[in-house]
Structure 1
Amino acid sequence: MSEPVSVPGFDADAFGRWYDGVRPGELAGPVTATLIAGGKSNLTYSVTDGTSTFVVRRPPLGHVQATAHDMGREYTAMSALAASDVPVPRTLAHCTDDTVLGAPFYVMEKVAGEAYRTAGQLEPLGPDATAHLARSMVEVLARLHAVVPAEVGLGDFGRPAGFLERQVRRWGRQLEGSATRPLPDAEALLARLSGSVPPDGEPGIVHGDYRLDNLLCVAADDSPVKAVVDWEMATLGDPLTDVALLLVYDNLGHITGGGAVADASAAPGYPDRDTQLSTYVAAGGRELGDLSFHLGLAYLKIAVILEGIHHRYLAGQTVGDGFDRVGEAVEPLLAAGLDATA
């Protein structure tokens, strides 16, 4: 039997002892872990005892904002949505004891599927399969927004009143805590958003980071989306923030040249903005009005997230590859946010 092997942020021996305590008899032996590539925020590990395999999620190493990387939030959201028609992984255990891995974490089943991030990954599928996959992505988002929070036990999951105003303040505070350089466009965008907050609409469950590479998919299936993952920013609020964020993620490759971000939307067959929006409404999503505020907020949010990742990279606190050019995207995103709200 092999000895436990540890990777950055994951002590296999400590995890094994803890897991055997909360779910006794399930481990067939010592565990080994592999860091799953692709994430630039929370750390995700594929963990196996030689017989079964599951996934562990924990916050990044170092410089963690107080309101970010909430493992309990992810665990609660997925556990509740297991009773809905939104596909999520089955949750197994949640640990709030920092002494085990140095931070809270949770365990979930490993779902077979691909997280498509780049046009290069999608191109071999062909335009028709790519269009079908993207359409399914939008339809799943509409299904999420149709869920009544109280009916799945999430009635107290957030404070929807004043959600948009708090979002502007929150991302302003996040930027203060992670900025590595002067960002005058951030100040201008924050001021513009603060002065144009729309009234509250009917609240719903907000994923908070909905995009193609936060889905596990089997492209050849009729229903290709097998699981929605990365629920760390989920809450109750205005679902149109998810819609706007998806549109902005799809525009990232065009704004930054694709160097530091996903460019899946450049693949042949990937639908344009109008097609995405009409698919969302037809699938039972919320009615769409003027999205300029929501788009500006989405650009700000992604810029702040990437600046935080850039902060950790400069401090030597990132794990894995692909962090060296993340900071290049921040200023173009802020400029795009100003254009969207002009």
Structure 2
Amino acid sequence: MTAEHPESEHPESEHPESEHPGLDLAVLGDWLPEHVDGAGSDLTATLIAGGKSNLTYRISDGSSSWILRRPPVGHLLATAHDMGREYRMMSALEQTAVPVPTMYAMCDDADVLGAPFYVMSEIDGVPYRAKSELAALGPQRTRAISERLVDTLVDLHRVDPADVGLADAGRPEGFLGRQVQRWRKQFDAAHTREIPAMEKLYTMLADRVPADTAPGIVHGDYRLDNVLVTPHDEMGAVVDWELSTIGDSLTDLALMLIYGRLAEITPGAVTDATAAPGYLSEREIVERYAAGSDRDLDDLGFYIALGCFKLAGIVEGIHYRYVNGQTVGDGFSQLGDGVFGLLDAGIAALKEN
């Protein structure tokens, strides 16, 4: 299955064509055969449910199938939902040790489906999200999956952006300082309420930005349910590259650690897969990453705090779309409450480090 969440918890939803948000199958049927070899024009689509960001569809012509990704319908925050960035990053990584889907076609013409989109291969894999799903595999398989998740991140951060044509895919100089400012601006762009803790964490981060490090590829949202795990427990493909760039790669490690804490910070709104028996502890994740990487982890607390600030900004953006009636699917009404726990966790990380 290719999805943002596993089929056992979030089954795919079949909809009539008129109910496919942001997808006109008649128009796509004209476009696809001209850009994907062998594709037919009589198409069906399945919306892969559960995602709270970009829309992901399985497209089929009856004999072959592909995955189509496009931005959500409605208001888009600046620099978010960049289809071109996703497509370029995965295309560049196809010849590296980092597993990614095959990229087939990119459409920059918003007149086709109302927004840019791309088409990629379908991967036989599951993006594990729930503790119960990993628990069913047993602790030995769960441990192996979590080890491979860390090893894949190390492989990604070993890639020299210049070697794969990505040297100009970001601005690594002053990256961390710009990240602090960027996510502050995202809060402003998604403003629906006053959040004093956001102001406090922003000030603390701005006051202790570390010096630049060697530039690397940053996935921007690295976690287990953004990796498709094959039936043999291998990493089949890293997906969801909408926030990727070139910058300080330690931001990926920190964000992955934060996702491991989210079940306690924001109960009911996030994955709890890291609580499954056998899954690497936070200390084991850091040690395994450090063993394969030459990056300095001494100021990891800053990166964790920045990750909390970033994730809170993303959640606040989703909350903004919910408040304005621009979300698709269920599960949004309480999501905005998680912003406060994330901000508090960021403040605590800076005080502890």
Q: TM-score under structure 2 normalisation?
A: 0.92
Match for 1:9: what amino acid? G
1:1-342 equivalence runs, <5 A: 7-23=20-36, 26-218=38-230, 220-221=232-233, 224-257=234-267, 259-284=268-293, 286-342=295-351
| Residue 282 of structure 1, CA deviation | 2.1
Write the distance in 1 (CA, Å) between the matches of 2:17 and 2:78.
32
Deviation per residue, 1:226-276 (Å, 9 max, x gap): 00001111111100000000000111001122x111111111111111100
Q: Percent identity?
A: 51
Match for 2:71: what amino acid? P
| Residue 281 of structure 1, CA deviation | 1.9
Write the distance in 1 (CA, Å) between the matches of 2:82 and 2:280.
32
Deviation per residue, 1:154-177 (Å, 9 max, x gap): 111111000000000000000001
Asked if the contact 1:97/1:104 (under 8 Å) is kept, the reply is yes
Asked if the contact 2:30/2:41 (under 8 Å) is kept, the reply is no
Write the distance in 2 (CA, Å) between the matches of 1:119 and 1:4.
34
Match for 2:87: what amino acid? Y
Asked if the contact 1:71/1:106 (under 8 Å) is kept, the reply is yes
Write the distance in 2 (CA, Å) between the matches of 1:101 and 1:185.
39
Write out the 4+ residue segments of structure 1 that deviate beyond 4 Å after TM superposition: 3-6
Match for 1:58: what amino acid? R
Write the distance in 2 (CA, Å) between the matches of 1:58 and 1:170.
23
Write the distance in 1 (CA, Å) between the matches of 2:59 and 2:294.
36
Write the distance in 2 (CA, Å) between the matches of 1:130 and 1:64.
36
Write the distance in 1 (CA, Å) between the matches of 2:191 and 2:132.
32
Write the distance in 1 (CA, Å) between the matches of 2:219 and 2:82.
13
- Structure 2 SS opposite 1:252: helix
Q: TM-score under structure 1 normalisation?
A: 0.95
Q: 1:134 to 1:163 in 2, by over 3 A?
A: same
Q: Which runs of 5+ in 1 are unaligned?
A: none
User: In angstroms, what is the RMSD of aligned CA positions?
Assistant: 1.4
Write the distance in 2 (CA, Å) between the matches of 1:4 and 1:238.
42
Write the distance in 2 (CA, Å) between the matches of 1:135 and 1:22.
38
Write the distance in 1 (CA, Å) between the matches of 2:266 and 2:47.
27
| Residue 210 of structure 1, CA deviation | 0.4
Write the distance in 1 (CA, Å) between the matches of 2:277 and 2:83.
36
Match for 2:117: what amino acid? F
Asked if the contact 1:55/1:108 (under 8 Å) is kept, the reply is yes
Matched positions, count: 336
Q: 1:141 to 1:285 in 2, by over 3 A?
A: farther
| Residue 279 of structure 1, CA deviation | 1.1
Deviation per residue, 1:162-203 (Å, 9 max, x gap): 000000000000000113211100000001101110000111
| Residue 5 of structure 1, CA deviation | 6.4
Q: Which runs of 5+ in 2 are unaligned?
A: 1-15
Asked if the contact 2:219/2:244 (under 8 Å) is kept, the reply is yes
